[in-house]
Every structure is written in structure tokens, then in C-alpha cells.
Chains A and B, each alone.
Chain A
Amino acid sequence: GEDVEQSLFLSVREGDSSVINCTYTDSSSTYLYWYKQEPGAGLQLLTYIFSNMDMKQDQRLTVLLNKKDKHLSLRIADTQTGDSAIYFCAELEGSQGNLIFGKGTKLSVKP
């Protein structure tokens, strides 16, 4: 079945760039998403990309999509301590409507 993989942890220094990677298996995925979850909270939609795009930039966030390798990345420029959270990659499962999530990458930002 469809699967989404992410590394579990990432630690960076404040001011550096963070790059969170994700691989997915469903080649028919039309949209791919990045969500952020802070402790005790729900999921906050950060950004998403349509599968016919290679890149999308939104302020400090850059999403890169390599459809051939089924690889998605989220780059956060000038990472701040407030960016510390768990970041989830998700793909939309075709016409089924539901999202398939990775297990999340915990980003720790050191001052």
C-alpha cells in the first residue's frame, strides 16, 4: 500500500537553514502537503505543492518535489526557535479524499 517515509529527528542552530526530507510511494498522488504540529496542538497547514510543479516558495519556506524519485523536501530558511515542532509530510490518496502521513520529523532548534 501507499507509504510516506520521513527521518524522525533534525537538530539545527538558530539562523541556519533546515531541510526536512520525505519519500512517498503513490505515483498517482496529485498533491503533497507539509503540516506542523506544536506540543498539545493540532496540525497547522504550512504549504502544499501540486504534483506537476517542481518547486514552490512561500516566504521562508521552499518545497522541492522530485516526482521521478518520489522525493519531497521542505526547506526553512533562517530557522528560529519558534520553528521547533514536529513536521509531517502527507500525500493525498487519489480520489479517496484522505491524507497519508509520514511519522513526522521532530525539529529542534538550538539557540
Chain B
Amino acid sequence: EAGVTQSPTHLIKTRGQQATLRCSPISGHTSVYWYQQALGLGLQFLLWYDEGEERNRGNFPPRFSGRQFPNYSSELNVNALELEDSALYLCASSDDRDRGVSNQPQHFGDGTRLSIL
């Protein structure tokens, strides 16, 4: 079974530009989560998408946005990039079709390392 795949592996941008990061969940998983792992700040929750809808959002400004497609893959968009956006962005997926009945843990991809120059 293929795991969560993210692309690109690395992305280099300059301040003010826009970045698009992509994630394909494990086959059959309906939920996608985005986390930021910045040096010194640890892992912070960004966004949760389930069945194409944004279900929850972390404490990040609106220039962080995303969407989930009908095939459950997802994009994270970061506009007006700032130096402090440099981080590893991790995507996770889970099978939430039985949410409330049983827990399905989140499985992570290897991340996209975004560097802002």
C-alpha cells in the first residue's frame, strides 16, 4: 500500500512569492491534515480537510489556505511568503469514514521543505 506522498520534496522561494504544496493521501483515506514543523517551534497544526470541506484550522494567518479535491488529494497554498514560513510542511491522512465510532490514526508523508530566501 502506497503511503502519503508529498510534492515537491524541496521548494525554494523568495519573500513575497506564492508557494503551492501537494499531498496525495493513502488510498481510501478521506481526511487530509497539514502541519508545519519550523525550527524551534515544533509541529503545529495548520488545516484539516475532510470530504472536500475545511473542518478545522490552526492559528495561522489567512495567507495559508488550501483545498481538497474530489479524489481526496490536497493542496496547501501560502501567499506573500515571509522568511519565517521556512519550514518542513507535513501532510497526514486518515480514514475518517467511521469517525466517532473508532479512531483511525494519522499517517504522515515525508514532507515538503520550503525555504524562503
Given contacts A42-B108, A103-B42, 19 further A-B contacts (CB under 8 A): A40-B110, A42-B4, A42-B6, A42-B90, A43-B92, A43-B108, A45-B106, A45-B108, A48-B103, A48-B105, A90-B43, A92-B103, A96-B56, A97-B33, A97-B96, A98-B45, A98-B58, A99-B33, A99-B43
Mark each residue of chain A from 51 to 89: 1 if its CB lies under 8 Å from any CB of chain B, else 0: 000000000000000000000000000000000000010
B residues lining the A interface (CB < 8 Å):
4, 6, 31, 33, 35, 42-43, 45, 48, 50, 55-56, 58, 90, 92, 96, 103, 105-111
Q: Is the interface of A mostly helix, strand, loop or mixed?
A: strand
A residues lining the B interface (CB < 8 Å):
30-31, 33, 35, 40-45, 48, 50, 88, 90, 92, 96-104
Q: Is the interface of B mostly helix, strand, loop or mixed?
A: strand
The answer to whether B33 and A104 have CB atoms under 8 Å apart is no
Q: A31-B103, A42-B110, A92-B103 are in contact. Are A101 and B33 (CB under 8 A)?
A: no
Q: Which residues of B contact A90 (CB under 8 A)?
A: 43
What are 13 A-B interface contacts by the 8 Å CB criterion? A31-B103, A31-B105, A35-B108, A40-B110, A42-B110, A43-B90, A45-B106, A50-B103, A97-B56, A98-B33, A98-B48, A99-B33, A101-B42
The answer to whether A42 and B109 have CB atoms under 8 Å apart is yes
Q: Which residues of A contact B103 (CB under 8 A)?
A: 30-31, 48, 50, 92
The answer to whether A41 and B56 have CB atoms under 8 Å apart is no
The answer to whether B110 and A99 have CB atoms under 8 Å apart is no
The answer to whether B43 and A88 have CB atoms under 8 Å apart is yes
The answer to whether A99 and B42 have CB atoms under 8 Å apart is no
The answer to whether A42 and B111 have CB atoms under 8 Å apart is yes
The answer to whether B56 and A98 have CB atoms under 8 Å apart is yes
Closest A residue to B41 by beta carbon equals: A103
